[in-house]
């Protein structure tokens, strides 16, 4: 039966779900709070620069192809993907770098330069991640975990794969060099996890990169958002921006529609929330309808870290700076820094950074002769005692001074565009509980059945897609959740 479906939010989880549900024959309306679509992938345009606000590393590109194919279209006709080589350039605290890509011999040579003994260990590590990837991604990522028995069925495999170990511990069994351990264990940070706490299932991210490559969308990740918007409109979907949902209407335990901030109500047969799960339960659903997701349960849940991100453009190019498209700049401290961010909830004076330089691959992201960047630093979420209104300019200066002294000479006199976001942006603009950048923290006790389900445990006809539900954050994760939502709702 053709259903009237409302999708709250237009992050990649929401866009994926909307297009898939249209392909399944339903009538779909997207309601987005902001003036443009994309959620964390919002694009900031200023002085001729285009800055992708969030995701830049495209892994598992076939997941986008599948959405277009389901609609009878070809992704290539809408947006072009190009491979990145190296995948990442990772700098140590002395500024020496390590590159990796999907050429095994190249990676082994890079490892030998650091520590010849680790070449064998890496091969063993890589071989074991294949089984983790097969189970964790291929078999389980797009399956709903609605019953505890679903969890029991996979438990023996999870034990066999050593999922009780952290990613760092898992990697350390095979790799001896401290810096190389960091290079092969940082991946949980890409989905909001601490490598010292996140289940080793997330070691599969490295395998996933090697299997399908790391890609960039020409025109930036925003070009994928535009492509999906075009597709959804062609499919007959309705999109409203600057339209914030104030309440999900519930009658007799069933979601029946939404009330907007302007007081208007819209009816629906099914509601799919792509807004942060914790925010949705706490702020969009009257507590009298919530048995499991009480305010207490929401408060008890652990949330991922937040981020401080500076988008900046320079009037000169930095092609001889030794930087690659995707750079990770590690500081002296690794475990201690992560401890401060995730456990002590303390903003440290030191930092580790991800530096994005898209103009290396795609000069169209900046005016001619200019360079576009963004730099990101993981910081604690809003449980930390930090007044970001006062701290943000100081933190910005510390990062920009560091970059100028170590990587980008004369940076500040060449700046011609700049914007930054902090944990308050995640809370106030993106409606993320505690200003978390990746929602519910990906630890074993908050994964699969233990994570907020894709079909609400409290309210019928309410579904979740996006970072806070199963399987979790990152583009492959949120796109997997959109497959689950489509399967649970079914075809018209
Ligand atoms: C800086 C940064 C860099 C990242 N880099 C990468 C990367 O390189 N690769 C990768 O795979 N992942 C990356 N990630 C993670 C990835 O971007 C996210 O996990 C993913 O984009 C989240 O998508 P989502 O579907 O959960 O929706 P979100 O992007 O969180 O969007 C939710 C949307 O809901 C809207 N909304 C909220 N409340 C309401 C309401 N009441 N009414 C209407 N609308 C509402 C919000 O405005 C927002 O648009 C990055 C994340 C960040 C923050």
Query: What tokens appear for 454 in the block?
Result: 């894709």
pLDDT digits (tens, 9 = 90+) for 231-289: 999 999 999 999 999 999 999 999 999 999 999 999 999 999 999 999 999 999 999 99
Better-scored residue on pLDDT, 189 or 159: 189
Residue 98 Cα distances to 51, 78, 101, 107, 350, angstroms: 26, 34, 11, 9, 21
Report residue 194's pLDDT band, with 50, 70 and 90 as the boundaries: very high
- Do 290 and 253 contact (CB within 8 A), yes or no? no
Report residue 155's pLDDT band, with 50, 70 and 90 as the boundaries: confident
Q: What is the pLDDT of residue 159?
A: 87
Q: Which residues line ligand 1 (CB under 6 A)?
A: 8-14, 31-34, 39-41, 54-57, 190, 244-245, 274-275, 307, 309, 376, 430-431, 437-438, 466-467, 473-475, 478
Measure the N-to-C terminal CA separation of the chain; round to a whole number of Å: 4
Ligand 1 centroid–CA 124 distance in Å is: 35
Report residue 220's pLDDT band, with 50, 70 and 90 as the boundaries: very high
Q: What is the pLDDT of residue 107?
A: 98
Q: Name the closest-CA residue to atom 10, ligand 1.
A: 474
Q: What is the pLDDT of residue 160?
A: 87
pLDDT digits (tens, 9 = 90+) for 64-94: 999 999 999 999 999 999 999 999 999 999 9
CATH number of 4-82+217-301+439-489: 3.50.50.60
Among 87-101, 148-162, 396-410, 477-491, the minimum mean pLDDT is found in 148-162
The mean pLDDT value of the chain amounts to 97
pLDDT digits (tens, 9 = 90+) for 327-364: 999 999 999 999 999 999 999 999 999 999 999 999 99
- Do 436 and 279 contact (CB within 8 A), yes or no? no
pLDDT at 425 over 90: yes
Residue 383 Cα distances to 40, 225, 391, 397, 420, angstroms: 21, 32, 15, 23, 21
Say if strands 215-217 and 81-83 run parallel, antiparallel, or are unpaired.
antiparallel
- Do 450 and 231 contact (CB within 8 A), yes or no? no
For CATH 3.50.50.60, the residue range(s) in the chain are 4-82+217-301+439-489
Q: What is the pLDDT of residue 151?
A: 87
Ligand 1 centroid–CA 93 distance in Å is: 30
Ligand 1 centroid–CA 279 distance in Å is: 13
d(CA 415, CA 409): 12
d(CA 229, CA 239): 9
In this prediction, residues 4-31 reach a mean pLDDT of: 98
Q: Name the closest-CA residue to atom 16, ligand 1.
A: 474
Report residue 44's pLDDT band, with 50, 70 and 90 as the boundaries: very high
Report residue 192's pLDDT band, with 50, 70 and 90 as the boundaries: very high
Query: What tokens appear for 184 in the block?
Result: 């092969």
Q: Which atom of ligand 1 is nearest to the CA of 468?
A: 26
- Do 423 and 435 contact (CB within 8 A), yes or no? yes
Q: Name the closest-CA residue to atom 26, ligand 1.
A: 466
For 413, residues 6+ apart whose C-beta sits below 8 A from its C-beta are none
In this prediction, residues 415-443 reach a mean pLDDT of: 98
Q: Name the closest-CA residue to atom 18, ligand 1.
A: 474
Site to probe by mutation for ligand 1, drawn from 7, 20, 33, 40 as the one with most ligand atoms within 8 Å of Cβ, is 40
Taking alpha carbons only, the member of 375, 379, 372, 370 closest to residue 402 is 375
d(CA 126, CA 356): 26
């Amino acid at each position: 039966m053709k259903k009237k479906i409302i999708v709250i939010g237009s992050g990649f989880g929401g866009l994926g779900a909307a297009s898939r549900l249209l392909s399944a024959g339903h009538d779909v309306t997207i309601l987005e709070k902001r003036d443009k679509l994309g959620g964390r992938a919002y694009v900031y345009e200023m002085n001729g620069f285009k800055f992708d606000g969030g995701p830049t590393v495209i892994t598992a590109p076939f997941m986008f192809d599948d959405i277009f194919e389901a609609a009878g279209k070809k992704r290539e006709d809408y947006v072009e993907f190009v491979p990145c080589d190296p995948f990442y350039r990772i700098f140590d605290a002395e500024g020496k770098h390590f590159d990796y890509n999907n050429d095994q011999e190249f990676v082994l040579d890079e490892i030998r330069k650091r520590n010849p003994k680790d070449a064998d260990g890496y091969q063993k590590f890589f071989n074991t991640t294949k089984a983790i990837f097969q189970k964790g991604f291929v078999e389980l990522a797009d399956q709903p975990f609605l019953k505890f028995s679903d969890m029991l069925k996979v438990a023996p495999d999870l034990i066999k794969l050593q999922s009780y170990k952290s990613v760092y511990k898992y990697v350390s069994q095979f790799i001896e060099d401290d810096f190389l351990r960091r290079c092969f264990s940082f991946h949980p940070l890409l989905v909001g996890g601490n490598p010292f706490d996140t289940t080793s299932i997330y070691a599969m991210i490295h395998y996933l990169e090697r299997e399908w490559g790391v890609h960039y969308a020409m025109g930036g990740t925003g070009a994928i958002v535009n492509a999906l918007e075009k597709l959804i409109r062609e499919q007959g979907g309705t999109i409203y921006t600057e339209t914030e949902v104030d309440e999900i209407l519930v009658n007799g335990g069933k979601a029946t529609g939404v009330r907007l901030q302007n007081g208007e109500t819209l009816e629906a047969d099914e509601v799919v929330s792509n807004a942060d799960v914790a925010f949705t339960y706490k702020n969009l659903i009257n507590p009298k309808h919530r048995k499991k997701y009480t305010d207490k349960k929401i408060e008890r849940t652990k949330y991922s870290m937040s981020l401080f991100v500076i988008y900046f453009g320079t009037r000169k190019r930095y092609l001889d700076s030794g930087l690659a498209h995707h750079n990770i700049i590690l500081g002296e401290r690794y475990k201690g820094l992560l401890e401060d961010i995730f456990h002590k909830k303390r903003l440290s004076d030191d930092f580790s950074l991800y530096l994005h330089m898209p103009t290396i691959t795609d000069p169209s992201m900046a005016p001619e002769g200019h360079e576009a960047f963004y730099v990101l630093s993981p910081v604690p979420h809003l449980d930390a005692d930090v007044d970001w209104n006062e701290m943000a300019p100081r933190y910005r200066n510390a990062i920009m001074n560091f970059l100028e002294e170590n990587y980008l000479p004369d940076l500040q006199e060449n700046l011609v565009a700049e914007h930054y976001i902090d944990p308050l942006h995640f809370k106030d603009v993106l409606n993320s509980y505690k200003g978390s950048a990746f929602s519910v923290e990906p630890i074993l006790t908050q994964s699969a059945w233990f994570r907020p389900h894709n079909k609400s445990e409290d309210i019928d006809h309410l579904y979740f897609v996006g970072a806070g539900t199963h399987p979790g954050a990152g583009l492959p994760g949120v796109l997997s959740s959109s497959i689950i939502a489509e399967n649970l709702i079914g075809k018209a």
